Amino acid sequence: MGCVEVRECHVGEKVDISQSALDGILPLNGLRHPKENDTTGWYIWGGEQLSEDEDYFKPLHTAHLELKCTLALKFLSLPPGWRFLTDGTYEDVWFDANLFVTI
């Protein structure tokens, strides 16, 4: 991942994750907003489409990802503003400045 500043996620912190990601639907997508309270800022979902449903993401402690969504683990140290897409073989990682824009 080149020269990217690492931002650790701690066991007590949470990601927001969709049921589709927990069900193993690919590709797996993730984006990281700035950290807030006990969240890492990560939003992770599975599939081609990101839902607008307000209940789409559920909080999950990072410690549970090892059993529930292992594909996401290697990307969690990316800092806010970064995104990833993977199907387990193909990987794409990129910076998205729009993740710092508040609406």
Distance, in Å, from the CA atom of 80 to the CA atom of 92, rounded to the nearest integer, reads 16
Dihedral (CA of 66, 69, 75, 80) sign: negative
Q: What is the pLDDT of residue 61?
A: 94
Q: Which residues of the chain are modeled with pLDDT < 70?
A: 1-11, 102-103
Q: What is the pLDDT of residue 36?
A: 87
- Residue 74's SS3 state is helix
Q: What is the pLDDT of residue 25?
A: 97
Q: What is the pLDDT of residue 6?
A: 57
